[in-house]
């Protein structure tokens, strides 16, 4: 509904129309609306702050700063202590794990890795998915049918099988290439690169489908026919008239994709195919806590804190995604 | 030709393509099924094992044998079709659990996963759809806002987090429900909740989205102008269109749930298919992986076809032209 109906226009007060003569760009308007959405904007702010905090975190254990900070903040995730399975206290705010490593610092490092993997993986999937879906839906006919059969076929292979095979297959050549190029195999970083590719490659399918469905129904709408009659090119119709109406759905789905990418990553870490062991993502930490569930002593902090961090991250991502969605939606006439 | 028949006709080639893709894909992965034998297998033993399972043949003949189209010479030198094969419904022997065929293993584990997945799907839909409609109709009120917030909260608590917490609270602390295993109906409660609640949140959000868009459409004004009751407008006029995002999500979701979830099955020690799917891929149990991939593919294709039919049936524009 990018075309405002006459009745809607008529309802608007005159000064509004006068201002609309020098229109803001859609991005500007969206940003304005986004700043006004309370939950979304504060979640995004919180997210930015925690990204800064997470970025600063490794420096807290540096010897020039550490003495001025509370002891609980200055642990490194790799330091082993004798305090195994210590509950949360002044020394270890989140407690310690089986090797006496400080859980707070492990959670902080885990959150960094999970966030990066989620964002990059989702970005890869959006790029592939939107292009594929928009072209298929807009071109239609035989091309659409073939492109969607490809998606069907990929869909029909369980993602986890695809990802395990992809990661296992690409690992050796990638490391060989890195050694040949830079003389080092980069260790965990190479694994992260693999994860981006693997996660992006399996999570674009639903995006392509959703975008294609939207485009398919949008291209039959009156305003598309109108702009075609006015002589607009296909690229213009697709980019200016159809895709802006799809962004809302895309953003909603991205907010669903980032969590699912983060989840997939945790799943892979659990299987030993994700982040390499001395470091750990949030999912890896939760899986680590699950191993130590038993009926005699409950080490609840091993699950509650990494789980809480994961839930908090997802909540912030989803809230800001919702805020962005409301801001981008051209249907809403309430600005 | 009717589009449905066309889709059905596409199914068989699609399955063949998927099976051959999966066949090639799983062979691409480095390593083999006998890498993790208990004792380091001597080269002769490994050679014998490979010969026993025909892994020493060229790939094309292995594939033909798998499909059941291999024309070979038997021990007495007579030409005949190789035994078994996909076309006869035989997925072959498992390379990891060597006393079992893939068919046996699937037949044992599938009912469990079907039950768990089915109930979880029911929970997700039964909770999510009314929830989404409700929040969409009261979006300018606080109740709608908080309803939406709860749905949002649900999709932030994955089974990986919710499952262990449920175990800690309801099984270990309060001792209301069993910790694990799959025996009485009581055993199904925690896994179902852990698996289903997350997806209930997703369904509620998609439903909300669809309903909100539909409620702004012009035919809603017409329906209101006709003086229909609010309930009739919602259910008869808005729901068939508004439910479409949920539908296109529901097909793959149900297929995923029916073929098991590794996390939940692993957490609650449920003997389902999800665990097999991961473990057989990791241990390169080729026939098992292929069997499971094909099973998943068949379920998914059938469900997608159903979703397509429902789409067609629900949208008057597609129905009439």
pLDDT in tens, A29-43: 777 887 887 778 888
- H helices of B216-285, in order, are 218-225, 230-232, 239-242, 244-258, 262-267, 273-282
* Overall number of domains in chain A: 1
Q: Which of A161, A169, A317 to probe by mutation at the B interface, max B CB count within 10 Å?
A: A161
Name residues 301-320 of chain A within 8 A of B (Cβ).
303-304, 307, 310-311, 314-315, 318-319
Q: Does B4 touch chain A (CB under 8 A)?
A: no
> Quick one: pLDDT at residue B122?
94
- pLDDT value of position B131: 92
Place of tokens 């083999």: B32
Give the model's pLDDT for residue B125.
93
Band (B280; pLDDT cuts 50, 70, 90)? confident
Interface of A with B in 71-130 (CB under 8 A): none
Q: What is the DSSP letter of A333?
A: -
Is residue A330 within 8 angstroms of chain B, CB to CB? no
For chain B, give the mean pLDDT.
82
Of A129-143, B188-202, B228-242, where does mean pLDDT reach its minimum?
B228-242
Q: Is residue A21 part of a domain?
A: no
Q: pLDDT tens digits for chain A (335 residues)?
A: 444 445 554 554 555 544 555 667 666 777 788 788 777 888 888 888 988 888 887 777 777 777 777 777 777 777 777 777 777 777 777 777 777 787 888 888 888 888 888 888 888 898 899 999 999 988 888 898 888 888 877 877 777 788 888 877 887 788 888 888 877 767 677 777 777 778 888 888 888 988 998 888 888 888 888 888 888 888 888 888 888 888 767 876 777 688 778 878 877 777 767 777 666 788 888 888 888 877 777 788 888 888 899 888 888 888 887 787 777 664 544 43
> Binning pLDDT at 50, 70 and 90, where does residue B120 land?
very high
- The pLDDT value recorded for residue B32 is 74
Task: Please indicate, yes or no, if residue A81 is contained in any of the structural domains.
Answer: no
Is residue A12 in a domain? Answer: no
Q: What is the CATH number of the domain that holds A179?
A: 1.10.3720.10
Q: Which has the closest alpha carbon to A158: B294, B215, B159?
A: B294
Task: Please give the average per-residue pLDDT across B292-318, as a whole number.
Answer: 83
Contacts of A81 (CB under 8 A, 6+ apart): A96, A100, A101, A102
pLDDT of A4 reads 46
Spatial distance between the Cα atoms of A270 and B292, rounded to a whole number of angstroms: 21
Q: Place B319 in a pLDDT band, splitting at 50, 70 and 90.
A: low
Domain boundaries for CATH 1.10.3720.10 within chain B: 102-319
Residue B41 C-alpha, separation from nearest chain A C-alpha, in angstroms: 23
pLDDT at residue B126 in the model:
93
Q: What's the predicted TM-score (pTM) here? A: 0.79
Does residue A159 lie in a domain region? Answer: yes
Residues 6+ apart with CB under 8 A from A140: A216, A219
Find chain B residues with C-beta within 8 A of A172's C-beta: 30
Q: Is residue B113 within 8 Å of residue B188, measured between CB atoms?
A: no
Q: Identify whether A68 is part of a domain.
A: no
ipTM surpasses 0.85: no
Q: Which CATH number fits domain B102-319: 1.10.3720.10, 2.40.50.140, 3.30.1490.20, 1.10.287.70?
A: 1.10.3720.10
Return the minimum-mean-pLDDT range out of A26-40, B16-30, B274-288: A26-40
Angle ∠(B228,B229,B231) on CA atoms, nearest 5: 125
* All residues at 6 or more sequence positions from A167 whose CB lies less than 8 Å from its CB, including other chains: A194, A195, A198, A268, A273
The angle that helices A103-139 and A188-203 make with each other, rounded to 10 degrees, is 40
């Amino acid at each position: 509904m990018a075309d405002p109906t006459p009745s809607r226009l008529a309802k608007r007060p005159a000064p509004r129309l006068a201002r609309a003569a020098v229109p803001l760009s859609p991005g500007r308007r969206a940003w304005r609306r986004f700043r006004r959405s309370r939950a979304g904007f504060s979640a995004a702010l919180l997210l930015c702050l925690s990204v800064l905090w997470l970025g600063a975190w490794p420096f807290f254990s540096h010897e020039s700063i550490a003495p001025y900070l509370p002891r609980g903040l200055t642990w490194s995730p790799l330091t082993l202590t004798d305090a195994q399975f210590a509950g949360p206290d002044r020394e270890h705010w989140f407690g310690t794990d089986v090797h006496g490593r400080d859980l707070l610092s492990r959670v902080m490092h885990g959150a960094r890795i999970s966030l990066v993997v989620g964002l990059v993986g989702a970005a890869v999937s959006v790029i592939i998915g939107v292009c594929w879906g928009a072209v298929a839906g807009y071109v239609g006919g035989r091309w659409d049918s073939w492109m969607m059969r490809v998606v069907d076929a990929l869909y029909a292979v369980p993602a986890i099988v695809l990802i395990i095979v992809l990661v296992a297959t690409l690992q050796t050549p990638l490391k060989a290439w890195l050694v040949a190029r830079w003389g080092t195999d980069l260790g965990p970083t190479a694994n992260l690169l693999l994860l981006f590719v693997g996660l992006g490659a399996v999570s674009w399918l639903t995006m392509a489908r959703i975008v294609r469905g939207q485009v398919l129904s949008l291209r039959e709408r009156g305003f598309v026919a109108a702009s075609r009659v006015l002589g607009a090119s296909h690229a213009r119709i697709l980019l200016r008239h159809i895709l802006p109406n799809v962004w809302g759905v895309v953003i909603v789905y991205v907010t669903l994709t980032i969590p699912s990418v983060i989840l997939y990553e945790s799943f892979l870490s659990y299987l030993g195919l994700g982040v390499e062991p001395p470091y750990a993502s949030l999912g890896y930490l939760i899986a680590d806590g699950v191993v130590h569930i038993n009926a005699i002593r409950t080490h609840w902090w091993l699950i509650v804190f990494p789980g809480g961090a994961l839930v908090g991250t997802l909540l912030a991502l989803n809230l800001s995604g919702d805020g962005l969605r409301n801001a981008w939606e051209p249907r809403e006439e309430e600005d | 030709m009717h589009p449905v028949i066309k889709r059905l006709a596409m199914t068989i080639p699609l399955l063949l393509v998927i099976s051959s893709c999966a066949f090639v894909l799983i062979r691409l992965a480095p390593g083999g099924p006998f890498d993790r034998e208990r004792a380091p297998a001597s080269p002769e033993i490994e050679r014998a094992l490979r010969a026993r399972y025909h892994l020493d043949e060229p790939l094309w003949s292995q594939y033909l044998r798998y499909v059941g189209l291999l024309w070979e010479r038997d021990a007495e030198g007579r030409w005949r079709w190789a035994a078994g094969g996909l076309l006869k419904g035989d997925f072959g022997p498992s390379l990891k659990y060597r006393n079992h065929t893939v068919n046996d293993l699937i037949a044992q584990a599938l009912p469990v996963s079907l039950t768990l997945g089915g109930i979880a799907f029911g929970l997700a839909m039964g909770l999510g759809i009314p929830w989404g409609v409700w929040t969409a109709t009261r979006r300018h009120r606080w109740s709608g806002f908080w309803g939406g917030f709860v749905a949002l909260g649900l999709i932030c608590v994955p089974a990986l987090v919710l499952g262990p917490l449920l175990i800690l609270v309801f099984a270990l602390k309060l001792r209301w429900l069993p910790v694990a295993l799959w025996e009485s109906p009581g055993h199904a409660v925690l896994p179902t909740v852990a698996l289903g609640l997350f997806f209930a949140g997703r369904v509620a959000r998609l439903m909300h989205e669809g309903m909100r868009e539909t409620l702004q459409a012009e035919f809603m004004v017409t329906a209101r102008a006709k003086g229909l009751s609010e309930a009739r407008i919602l259910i008869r006029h808005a729901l068939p269109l508004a439910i479409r995002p949920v539908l296109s999500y529901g097909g793959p979701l149900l297929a995923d749930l029916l073929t098991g979830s590794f996390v939940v099955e692993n957490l609650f020690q449920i003997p389902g298919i999800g665990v097999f799917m991961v473990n057989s891929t990791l241990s390169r149990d080729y026939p098992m992986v292929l069997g499971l991939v094909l099973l998943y593919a068949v379920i998914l294709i059938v469900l997608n076809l159903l979703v397509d039919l429902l789409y067609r049936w629900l949208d008057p524009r597609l129905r009439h032209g």
